[in-house]
Amino acid sequence: MNRFFTLNLDSRLLRRLIALACLSPHFQGYAQAQAMVLPPMQEPVYQSVFDGYQAMSEPKLTPWRAANDTVRDVGGWRAYAKEAAAANAAATTPAPQPSTSSPGAPKP
């Protein structure tokens, strides 16, 4: 009988501790956050990733004689080589020159 009474007393104490914890400001803030009414959410709008898709199209074929005439009129392969060299020179920056003094040497 004594053991039953002890468990019953412990359960009463536990209930009181829980009730006190519910009255604490931390729990009240949590209860208020749970009671907040959120605005209704909008229905998601479906947008396919393929909406703006453009199918690949083959380029217009030109006769080989017309293509060769165009290359000749532009200046031949040398004109294309000059364009490539100019683009390469513009993209390349000169490398920094190494210093002649050693890193630990004092500067004059």
Q: Tokens 């294309």, residue?
A: 80
Nearest CA-CA partner of 71 in 79, 63, 83, 62: 79
Q: State pLDDT tens for residues 62-86.
A: 999 999 999 889 888 888 888 889 8
Residue 19 to residue 27: CA distance in whole angstroms: 11
Tokens for 14, please give them. 């536990």
Tokens for 71, please give them. 């290359």
Q: State pLDDT tens for residues 3-36.
A: 554 545 577 777 777 777 766 666 666 666 666 7
Cβ(27)–Cβ(21) below 8 Å: yes
pTM above 0.85, yes or no: no
